Amino acid sequence: MSGLPPNRSPDAIATPIEHYASADGKPSEIIDYYQFVLGDYFETMGIPIVAGRGFERTDNVSHGKVAIVNETLASKIWKGQSPIGQRLRPPGGSFGASDDAWHTVIGVAKTLGSTVSSAPRAVSCTCRWTSTASLRQA
């Protein structure tokens, strides 16, 4: 399991965020880690959802894509406001997806601790994996 955060190198990808401007005026923010997972990921890993909801089976057939961010990302971007319903655009092409679709935040997951006590908390975004064809080929 050395590939799971925080034991892997950060992705560090600039991600567009709707209605957002960073300190330097850019409409994006660096996200350290992306994960594309199946619906039961948070339950399986024992990671609590602290706001909103986790992934549901109906998310696969919905017209929009959904994401869950961790507490660190939520507090960094939305500073005291609810991230639920906000949108960001993960770079799907970087991860084998066919597009860079906007994802709606449906939940906030507890930020996991670092294995190094002095390390900052990682900023992460988890998106539901929706391509069953790719899973069958693997």
Q: What is the DSSP string of 115-136?
A: SSTTSPPPPEEEEE---HHHHH
Q: Looking at the 3D structure of the chain, how many domains does it have? A: 1
Residue 11 in any domain: the answer is no
pLDDT at 94 over 60: no
Higher-confidence residue of 123 and 104: namely: 104
Structural domain including 97 reads 17-111+120-137
pLDDT digits (tens, 9 = 90+) for 13-25: 889 999 999 889 9
Residue 29 in any domain: the answer is yes
Number of Cα atoms under 13 Å in the Cβ half of residue 91: 13
Which amino acid belongs to residue 128?
R
Q: Mean pLDDT across the stretch 24-28?
A: 92
pTM value?
0.79
Residue 10 in any domain: the answer is no
Residue 32 in any domain: the answer is yes
Q: Cβ(6)–Cβ(114) under 8 Å?
A: yes
Residue 5 in any domain: the answer is no
Residue 36 in any domain: the answer is yes
